[in-house]
Amino acid sequence: MKPNRVRWNKLLKVAAVMLPVMLIGSALQPSAFGTTASLDDHSNPGIYQEYKSGKPERPTVGNGSERSAGVIEIEVPAEIKSGNMIEIKLNVDDATDLFAVQAVLNYDPNVFEFKSVKPAKQFREGSKGGFFAEDHSIPGQTQILASQLQGSSLNGDVEVALITLKAKKLDKSRATQITLDKQSLTAHPDADESGVTYPLAQNQVQQVTVTVKSKGGK
């Protein structure tokens, strides 16, 4: 499912008006820049990627002294009962000078319905350096924009948001997927100047089984 670019751009513009010093309107739109440091971009000699134990590490950019803002990921339960709530954690692992996160979460609207998004403390509006916006107007998709204020950044393992969906009542158990779209990205505080953001190399797909209690109660 493709994100609603027009509506998302409007959301970014609103954020830019609210916090003009952040320049969100340009900083977090990959198309506004000529450079994105992808996790598997081997075509650019200034960006390379190491692999260890089958898991890609963050890219090193330029002369090797610059590191990406962190690896964005989702944590999803492998199983949920029909009719129950499922909580999805949006995190950035091993963050270095993390300023902003843009996330696009896709799921089957015939299986799940949106209930809520709760930003982590460091991204709550009115907190010390936080800003948060979300859009769930498209069935089966939730878009999130989370940022620090000018001059602030985060390091280490960072919690971004908790997304809650409800598994719809189904006639039988069903396997489905919840996906963090590869358009999701992280950025340093100077993204508007450097033109560098860090998108996922590929969609991050999590398998989920929605179970239905049998008529016999087993």
C-alpha–C-alpha distance, residues 58 and 67, integer Å: 7
Task: Please check whether residue 76 lies inside any domain of the structure.
Answer: yes
pLDDT at 163: 98
Task: Please check whether residue 113 lies inside any domain of the structure.
Answer: yes
Q: What are the residue ranges in the chain where pLDDT is below 70?
A: 1-66, 126-129, 215-218
Task: Please check whether residue 215 lies inside any domain of the structure.
Answer: no
pLDDT at 129: 60
pLDDT at 78: 97
pLDDT at 217: 55
Task: Please check whether residue 213 lies inside any domain of the structure.
Answer: no
Task: Please check whether residue 211 lies inside any domain of the structure.
Answer: no
pLDDT at 31: 31
Task: Please check whether residue 178 lies inside any domain of the structure.
Answer: yes
Task: Count the domains in the chain.
Answer: 1
151 within 8 A of 128, measured Cβ to Cβ: no
pLDDT at 26: 37
60 within 8 A of 38, measured Cβ to Cβ: no
CATH number of domain containing 49: 2.60.40.680
Task: Please check whether residue 218 lies inside any domain of the structure.
Answer: no
Range(s) of the domain holding residue 166: 5-199
Q: Write the pLDDT tens digit of every residue in 155-210.
A: 999 999 999 999 999 999 999 999 999 999 999 998 888 888 999 999 999 999 99
| Closest by Cα among 200, 196, 157, 204 to 58 | 200
Q: Write the pLDDT tens digit of every residue in 185-196.
A: 999 998 888 888
pLDDT at 192: 80
